[in-house]
Structure 1
């Protein structure tokens, strides 16, 4: 993947600075899962924080789609993999 600075993270102008930071941290964890691997608990914690900001499933799907269109990385598949594989400490996508 390219430089993280080139990624336009899907955010809303209605969010507070803290909420934006939480969403960006989640998408950074998704990127890490593809680039080098990410601690499973860290990823799931960041996903829970993301869901506090984006509780709507429809809105979540739109943000995931926007992110995937830019990066080719599926946040949905990263979270699904982390949830289904409790025995794995580090989530690394191929």
Structure 2
């Protein structure tokens, strides 16, 4: 994709990499499908970096605006799925 991921420059390099991995996992759910457990692992790490619900909504909203992919709907579907399921949006 040809766009920039929403990130905060106050984050460490590792945190930026992990947030980008989360957004890449959302892309993968839409484009090919992703294992639920893999998606939830990157989401849990994302929540360690972005614990605020308001900040999460802002970042995910920015990502959806530029990509068309909804992090909210993808994570909601993953939370409703069982371990081992594949998430395909």
> Which TM-score band applies after superposition, normalised by the shorter structure?
over 0.9
Correspondence list, 1:1-94, <5 A:
3=1, 6-86=2-82, 89-93=85-89
CA distance in 1, matches of 2:68, 2:81: 22
Query: How big is the shift at 1:7?
Result: 2.1
CA distance in 1, matches of 2:13, 2:83: 34
Query: How big is the shift at 1:71?
Result: 0.8
Q: Partner of 2:5: helix, strand, or coil? A: coil
Q: Which portions of structure 1, spanning 4 or more consecutive aligned residues, are displaced by more than 3 angstroms?
A: none
CA distance in 2, matches of 1:87, 1:47: 15
CA distance in 1, matches of 2:34, 2:18: 16
Q: Partner of 2:38: helix, strand, or coil? A: helix
Structure 2 alignment gaps of length 5 or more: none
CA distance in 2, matches of 1:65, 1:88: 28
How many pairs does the alignment contain?
89
TM-score by length of 1: 0.91
